[in-house]
Structure 1
């Protein structure tokens, strides 16, 4: 065999071997699967199961080339995890397993991060399905090393939040600037009751900690004064009337005041698209709200005795005068 042919033959073997290793996804897997699943928070805990003890390094890489190295510990013999941040919409990640410095295995997953605050991200493409981790079957995967029981005492905050059994996997959801009290104190089951609305009964795998979209009853257990006030008003905003507080507010934490998912004006215009168009038509002629606190400068976002949820009657009269051409 000539030297050139021999080199080609050896190179072919090396490429073939590498290819077969990279295709050997059974040696590294994301368990439970998150492929083609929908997430409603931008943080997700990725749990990786290693079926080859020679793997010395694991790395999660996003389609934006963000790198999340996973620390391999002796606490869990062949399982490790990492919290990563998703962007809204479709995400692609790959988990890479290394033997020494050589890439040996990789697994690719597609995820979808949905948001009630943005019209274009409310509904995921049909290939994505809802994911519920906290089933008895899934929890058995973690129970060998982690206490999966609920260790809360009703309405009693943890002295050290790290003592909560929920903290390790879900700690990232409270890291934004403003943390909501139940989340900041890790009183998770105040809202995560496992209950769902009747219209969602077709969900096959129900999580024991799922929170209903019509969450108002849980919210009003603390915000009862708000309910008493709004119930006396003539007009209610639809999300309030439907009991869907989390449509506008993030119940865990937010970088916006009042735990809004985005700033108030942007949030309003995502539903009231016709007002966005009139805003563009007006050009430099701005309403008071655009110069100050946005739509809530004039409108109460929850309930009001005045039309269009206006805060005061004199604004209502101004509207009437404009309509009559006065």
Structure 2
């Protein structure tokens, strides 16, 4: 009897210890199994400095360390997701000893990115942060008022705007899009939905409509002309400019999600096969039976690389196959480079 009694005492102590360890931190954000359309995920973690002195966020081979101090109880860190599935481990330490481990799984979805699968992404929920209920959790540390400049009311210091303090990492790119660079967030993030996300209205006060072309046309008046082209490109016809362009910024020209040739061949995979573009009878043998599509200088645009857009207009054209040509004959496009 004494043995059984002692066993239950030891079991209770062990369970109590585990309960204390598992409560050392609490991940408030993000929720598990969330789908993202942007690359950034912000972790919001509650921690007690008496129990924890270090938090480590592990994303594959990338580790991010947060030092826990007595100055605050909640810690925020934005990390960059890679395309498709992400499993992120959060560990709590005290004096170098691992106390507890938690994890979050998420999916970064854009169908031109490598490894992304629309059917896999449907297993994940789409969640929005900027609802009144969610913002109430952050008011103690952050100003959650709609303190955002408009094009007719610029700010002297954009770092004082509401969005900047949490989302400034969006501009850590070589090329930044003007509305984002000037923190004119409300130009696109109107709170209204579009045809493809109208059911999401009311879930976020900073919702951006999908398709986004109505907001792009606010500055780019040519958008509607492209959509009315005789020969149109699928993403443009659908008004889904974000499929190819990152509206905040990019390491690539024109805010593209990939370099031009890589972006085009994501959908047009057959064009990525060497020797599989343009009729062989019309090209030199040195090109191995086909017209080159990259790794050459562009004769029509000095200083530029020859890529798909040297011959094709990705937004729309009066010429067949989106060719940049005048007249009705498709081989007129050849005259851009071949003057004879």
User: Normalization by structure 2: what TM-score?
Assistant: 0.79
Question: Does 1:82 find its partner at 2:109?
Answer: no
Give 2:309's match in structure 1, choosing from 296, 299, 305: 296
Partners of 1:298 and 1:315 lie apart in 2 by: 15
Which structure has more helix as a fraction of its residues?
Answer: 1
- Cα RMSD (Å) of the superposition? 3.2
8 Å contact kept, 1:73–1:80: no
* Secondary structure, counterpart of 2:266 in structure 1: helix
Greater relative contact order (Cα < 8 A, sep 6+): 1
Distance 1:217 1:146, change over 3 A: same
8 Å contact kept, 2:158–2:164: yes
8 Å contact kept, 2:131–2:205: yes
Question: Does 1:246 find its partner at 2:259?
Answer: no
Partners of 2:333 and 2:180 lie apart in 1 by: 44
Q: 1:239-265 CA distances to partner (integer Å, 9 max, x unpaired)?
A: 222211111100001010000110112
Partners of 1:318 and 1:180 lie apart in 2 by: 36
Give 1:61's match in structure 2, choosing from 58, 61, 65: 58
* Secondary structure, counterpart of 1:221 in structure 2: helix
| Structure 2 spans left out of the alignment, 5+ residues | 1-9, 281-286, 297-304, 335-340
Partners of 2:220 and 2:315 lie apart in 1 by: 13
8 Å contact kept, 2:34–2:125: yes
What's 2:272 paired with? 276
What's 1:9 paired with? none
Give 1:263's match in structure 2, choosing from 249, 259, 265: 259
What's 2:98 paired with? 103
What's 2:206 paired with? 209
Partners of 2:181 and 2:67 lie apart in 1 by: 26
| Structure 1 spans left out of the alignment, 5+ residues | 1-12, 322-326
What's 2:6 paired with? none
What's 1:25 paired with? 22
Partners of 2:292 and 2:273 lie apart in 1 by: 17
Partners of 1:186 and 1:31 lie apart in 2 by: 27
Q: 1:89-121 CA distances to partner (integer Å, 9 max, x unpaired)?
A: 111111111222211122111111112323741
Distance 1:89 1:111, change over 3 A: same
Question: Does 1:142 find its partner at 2:134?
Answer: no
Worse-matched range after superposition: 111-120 or 89-98? 111-120
Partners of 2:126 and 2:20 lie apart in 1 by: 27
How far apart are residue 40 of structure 1 and its match?
1.9
Partners of 2:306 and 2:169 lie apart in 1 by: 29
* Secondary structure, counterpart of 1:246 in structure 2: helix
Q: 1:168-201 CA distances to partner (integer Å, 9 max, x unpaired)?
A: 2211111111011111111111111122224434
Partners of 1:135 and 1:98 lie apart in 2 by: 32
* Secondary structure, counterpart of 1:138 in structure 2: helix
How far apart are residue 52 of structure 1 and its match?
6.6
User: Normalization by structure 1: what TM-score?
Assistant: 0.82
8 Å contact kept, 1:18–1:104: no
Partners of 2:51 and 2:167 lie apart in 1 by: 29
Q: 1:260-314 CA distances to partner (integer Å, 9 max, x unpaired)?
A: 1101122112222343357558884442432343110100011211111100147
8 Å contact kept, 2:233–2:322: yes
Which of structure 1's runs of 4+ aligned residues deviate more than 6 A?
none
Q: 1:195-237 CA distances to partner (integer Å, 9 max, x unpaired)?
A: 222443444972221212211111111111x236536642222
What's 2:35 paired with? 38
